[in-house]
Amino acid sequence: AEEATLRRVGPDFFAAHSVADLAGRSGYWLGQQGRLTQPMHLAEGASHYTPVSWDEAFRIVAEELTALGSPDEAVFYTSGRTSNEAAFLYQLFAREFGTNNLPDCSNM
């Protein structure tokens, strides 16, 4: 299964593949490339994802969430394959943020 793969994709992969290139690939192909090794960001107007630090990734997420007019404008999606422990922590975060918008693959 893809979630158990040892394959990894890092900044070199994203430097070699533009967003347009990735959009043209199948979900199967994308999943076979491997798992992310660090946070990546697509800047407005950019054609490629670039690596960012964890601090920068959290700053970007916080900036986007605080810019919303209401917490209910956010949707916190998770996979049905998420562990119970991870899903529990994720829903705590969403509810603390102020929303119950927590769909997963079983109810979208």
Q: Is the pTM of this model over 0.75?
A: yes
* Cα–Cα distance, 13 to 16 (Å, whole number): 5
Q: How does the average pLDDT of the chain come out, rounded? A: 91
Contacts of 8 (CB under 8 A, 6+ apart): 34, 35, 36, 37
Q: Would you state the pLDDT for residue 92? A: 94
Cα–Cα distances in Å, from 7 out to 14, 35, 38, 94?
15, 6, 13, 30
Q: Would you state the pLDDT for residue 77? A: 84
Q: For 6-10, 57-61, 76-80, which range has the lowest pLDDT when averaged over its residues?
A: 76-80
Q: Is the pLDDT at 1 greater than 80, yes or no?
A: no
Contacts of 9 (CB under 8 A, 6+ apart): 33, 34, 35, 36, 37
Question: Domain coordinates of the chain in residue numbers?
Answer: 2-67, 71-108
pLDDT digits 0-9 by tens, 25-46? 999 999 999 999 899 999 999 9
Q: Would you state the pLDDT for residue 102? A: 84
Query: CB of 43 within 8 A of CB of 30?
Result: no
Q: What is the mean pLDDT of residues 98-105?
A: 82
Q: Which among 102, 100, 59, 98 has a CA at the least distance from the CA of 77? A: 102
